[in-house]
Amino acid sequence: MRRLLSLWLLPLLLVAFKASSVAAAKPNVVLITLDSTRADRMGFLGSHGKLTPNLDALARDSVVFERAYAQAPLTVVSHATILSGTYPQTHKVTEFAAPLAGSLPYLPDLLHGKGYHTAAFVGAMALDPKNGGAPGFDRGFDVYDAGFHLPQKGEGRYQSVARRGDQVVARALAWMAANSRGPFFLWVHLNDAHAPYGASYDAGVRATDAAVGKLVAALRAQKLYDDTVITVAADHGESLGAHGEDTHGVFLYDETIHVPLVVKLPHQQMAGKQVPARVRLVDVAPTMLEAAEVPVPSQMQGQSLLRVARSNPNADQPVYVRSDFPQRAFGWSGLQAWMAGKYLYVRAPKPELYDLTADPGATHSLAQTSKATLDTIAGQLEAFDSRFSQGGKTAGPELSSSEMQKLASLGYVGLQKSAGTSTAASGTDPKDEIKTANKIQNAMLDLEAGQVEKVIAALQPIVAKQPDMYLAQYALGVALNQQQRYPQAIERLHKAIELQPDSSWAHYYMGVSLLKTGDFKTATVHLEIAAGRLTECVAAHAGLAEAYEHTGRVDDAKRERAKAGTPGKGSKS
């Protein structure tokens, strides 16, 4: 009788065990970020250009957020918001290698803590934690595939500072094949649409779409697709000449802040759901955590968009956007924007107000004729910014007081007033100088391509006329360093550091230039600052080791050699 009862219960127990196993299974989580990709190029958002067949197919299985907005028109800043769920004034990441604070909530770290295998595969030097502009971004990752560097003689862009999307995906698929028993969190960053565009901007979008198609096809082939959360988001868009801006980083109009955003849930829940409400990239991390059934930390400032999609798809969220780039790069006013109702307000020395219903291209400002509306929306922005700026007490980019004192003793002046960032709408309005910004940003692209003679020719007239532009002084200094014109490089980098004392890479290039001239004591100060902030940069630690060796600090040199993984003498700079 007991045996018969056991046989009768066995199928029930097996069913119960299978059900509990399914309930306990964690979905895989994939984040695909598209650099510089405009919303108006997406077929699933109404484009007739036929550029995105693979993204369109994925969108049919996903929740589509028709009006998603970036919180900054900048690669590193926006990715910090996407991955931390916090606003720029809280995470304080910049395009100039300010480290991501370890106290911030961070999506890969949170998933890693829940047993996920984690990996990142990025397509550009900007997001390289060791050799680029994203120190600290590798927290919580088992693998962070980057490994970029400025071009050496004879190298092209795709041998040094960038990687094509198909190559990024190939690397990601190799990792996924070895970790498919998961759960895993995979971040893939595709850079094909970022300037310079090669054949054309649209060709870059097509290449991005093809890379997404390869990744999705592999998920399907490995029978992982149905159980995986897939989020696709652009970090920002691209101006393409709108409002006079060639690329991105300065202005806060739709061309650079309206971005594609889709979320595919396990087993294609809510497939094809269209959400017309205005939403934000700060909401991405909380959304992905909820989809993975992982608690959302209270420090995250966004909200899960799954609730919006299910219960309130038409309810707009106010959107805050900012760019400190004009202030930090050029010494002009920073910009902030607030989108509420039908209005876009841009806080600038010459404030702007647009009725986006009547004027979707933001071509006719109402700032002079609708003062009451302007004042109301400006007050909303001010209240929001004050609240989150006060709450964001993470480690900022500024140097310590002792570092500032060391620099002051070396003859740097005006450091205190220039450290940090400001969003005060004062000084030069970027609208009045956007042509100069275009020239300097194009020179930066030439620097990335190794065309140093072209950089020097373009920037020397600019710094002669406008010497207080950090980015021009820095790029010129790096170009001169690459040409081994070290005394001239030192002159430009000295000025760059006066303008932005917390620029890690300016200190690095200053240090290695000083090493070449034999000023080891001064080189030590700069390389200590660089190595202290670029904690995983081999070149910074190797350069500091050389400086220590020349100044008789043998034990310190050994310590830095160990960090660099370079035993013995010999500069890696």
Residue 275 lies in a domain: yes
Residue 14 lies in a domain: no
The pLDDT of residue 115 is 96
Q: Sorting pLDDT into bands at 50, 70 and 90, what band is 415?
A: confident
The pLDDT of residue 348 is 97
Question: Where is 233: in which H helix or E strand?
Answer: strand 228-234
Last residue of a domain, one of 256, 283, 312: 312
Last residue of a domain, one of 361, 391, 421: 391
CATH number at residue 524: 1.25.40.10
**Rounded Cα distance, 503 and 95, in Å:** 10
Q: Identify whether residues 361 and 451 lie together within a single domain.
A: no
Q: Identify whether residues 362 and 233 lie together within a single domain.
A: no
Residue 180 lies in a domain: yes
Termini Cα distance of the chain: 81
What are 470-493's pLDDT values in tens digits? 999 999 999 999 999 999 999 999
**Rounded Cα distance, 37 and 467, in Å:** 33
Mean pLDDT for 116-127 is 98
Going by C-alpha positions, the residue among 43, 66, 65, 41 that lies closest to residue 53 is 43
The pLDDT of residue 316 is 92
Query: Does residue 81 contact residue 71 with C-beta atoms inside 8 Å?
Result: yes
Predicted confidence (pLDDT) at residue 392 exceeds the cutoff of 80: no
**Rounded Cα distance, 11 and 24, in Å:** 20
The pLDDT of residue 568 is 55
What are 129-145's pLDDT values in tens digits? 999 999 999 999 999 99
The pLDDT of residue 83 is 98
Q: Sorting pLDDT into bands at 50, 70 and 90, what band is 570?
A: very low
The pLDDT of residue 249 is 98
Q: Identify whether residues 433 and 387 lie together within a single domain.
A: no
Residue 571 lies in a domain: no
Q: Identify whether residues 414 and 380 lie together within a single domain.
A: no
Predicted confidence (pLDDT) at residue 328 exceeds the cutoff of 50: yes
Mean pLDDT for 453-477 is 97
Mean pLDDT for 354-379 is 97
What are 154-193's pLDDT values in tens digits? 888 999 999 999 999 999 999 999 998 879 999 999 999 9
pTM of the predicted structure, to 2 decimals: 0.92
What are 492-547's pLDDT values in tens digits? 999 999 999 999 999 999 999 999 999 999 999 999 999 999 999 999 999 999 99
Predicted confidence (pLDDT) at residue 420 exceeds the cutoff of 70: no
Predicted confidence (pLDDT) at residue 294 exceeds the cutoff of 70: yes
Q: Identify whether residues 101 and 226 lie together within a single domain.
A: yes
Query: Does residue 32 contact residue 52 with C-beta atoms inside 8 Å?
Result: no
Residues of the domain holding 486: 401-564
Q: Identify whether residues 32 and 181 lie together within a single domain.
A: yes
Residue 321 lies in a domain: no
Residue 219 lies in a domain: yes
The pLDDT of residue 397 is 53
Q: Identify whether residues 30 and 166 lie together within a single domain.
A: yes
The pLDDT of residue 395 is 41
Q: Identify whether residues 478 and 352 lie together within a single domain.
A: no
Query: Does residue 551 contact residue 545 with C-beta atoms inside 8 Å?
Result: no
Query: Does residue 37 contact residue 45 with C-beta atoms inside 8 Å?
Result: no
Predicted confidence (pLDDT) at residue 210 exceeds the cutoff of 80: yes
The pLDDT of residue 24 is 52
Residue 319 lies in a domain: no
CATH number at residue 363: 3.30.1120.10
Going by C-alpha positions, the residue among 177, 189, 275 that lies closest to residue 232 is 189
Return all residues near 537 (Cβ < 8 A) that are at least 6 apart: 130, 131, 135, 508, 530, 531
Last residue of a domain, one of 252, 283, 312: 312
* Residue whose entry in the numeric block shows the structure tokens 């050389």: 546
The pLDDT of residue 491 is 98
Secondary structure (3-state) at 259: strand
The angle formed by the CA atoms of residues 411, 415 and 421, to the nearest 5 degrees, is 155
What are 1-34's pLDDT values in tens digits? 444 334 444 444 443 433 333 335 899 999 999 9
Q: Sorting pLDDT into bands at 50, 70 and 90, what band is 390?
A: low
| Percent of the chain clearing pLDDT 70 (strictly above) | 92
Number of folded domains that form the chain = 3
The pLDDT of residue 424 is 63
Q: Identify whether residues 103 and 169 lie together within a single domain.
A: yes
**Rounded Cα distance, 540 and 533, in Å:** 10
Residue 108 lies in a domain: yes
Query: Does residue 4 contact residue 204 with C-beta atoms inside 8 Å?
Result: no
CATH number at residue 265: 3.40.720.10
Q: Identify whether residues 339 and 230 lie together within a single domain.
A: no
DSSP string over 489-535: HHHHHHHHHHH-TT-HHHHHHHHHHHHHHT-HHHHHHHHHHHHHHST
Dihedral through CA 492, CA 495, CA 496, CA 500, nearest 10? 170
The pLDDT of residue 389 is 77
Mean pLDDT for 433-454 is 96
Give me the chain's average pLDDT, please: 91
**Rounded Cα distance, 335 and 338, in Å:** 10
Q: Identify whether residues 293 and 267 lie together within a single domain.
A: yes
Q: Identify whether residues 355 and 411 lie together within a single domain.
A: no
412, with CB counted inside 10 A (0-12, 13-18, 19+), is middle
